[in-house]
Amino acid sequence: MTEWQKKTPLEWLTYVNKEVKVLAAENHQYEGWVLTVDPVSANILLANFLEDGKVSVSVILGHAVQDVEIAAEADDEMKEKLAHLFMPEESQNYNKEELEEKKNSLKNWLEKNHIPVREQGESQSKLCVAGVLTISPPYGPEDCSSSNEIILSRVQGLLESYFSNAYMDS
């Protein structure tokens, strides 16, 4: 087992949103921004922004990692780019004001229906329902995540009815 694989998930978390240089087996070197580190395999997911506006994503297998050196910290703009890399495209069609309005409208509706909800996340962009489910931008039924399948399906059903009624009212 390599030193990299012996690290804990909290130690790997310190590499997220950092530009790194990775030395891997057979003297392969990789550079890029760390999107995540898989807590089971220790695989590193790196992103590189190309000249043509595209993004190259690489996976470096955890067992091959020999050394990881931090080259730079991400500024707010880079953190935002990294955070939105895998967001559904329709969410990228919303501007910040529209997303904020949609989030607040949904939050108010949930509160009005006596469903406990609070904002969470670094930028308060996610909604946390009853402490067991999160709704990420753009706040549709498919943007819900929870380990409790029953709550997940019920809240998704509520959101589907909310959005079908919201569109009928407009």
pLDDT of residue 96: 82
The model's pLDDT over 127-149, given as tens digits with 9 standing for 90+, comes to 999 999 999 888 989 999 999 99
Q: How far is residue 35's CA from residue 47's CA, in Å, rounded to a whole number?
A: 7
| Closest among 31, 40, 33 to 7, alpha carbons compared | 40
Q: Is the pLDDT of residue 2 over 80?
A: yes
Q: Which residues does 64 contact at the CB level (< 8 Å), separation at least 6? A: 24, 25, 28
Question: How much is the pLDDT for 169?
Answer: 52
Q: How far is CA 1 from CA 37, 64, 79, 91, 142, in A?
A: 16, 10, 31, 41, 38
pLDDT digits (tens, 9 = 90+) for 47-68: 999 988 889 999 999 999 999 9
Assign 87 a pLDDT band (cuts: 50, 70, 90): low
Contact 146/133 with Cβ under 8 angstroms? yes
Residue of higher predicted confidence among 151 and 123:
151
- The rounded mean pLDDT for the chain is 89
Higher pLDDT, 86 or 148: 148
Give me the pLDDT at residue 121, please. Answer: 77
User: What would the two tokens of residue 41 be?
Assistant: 């395999």
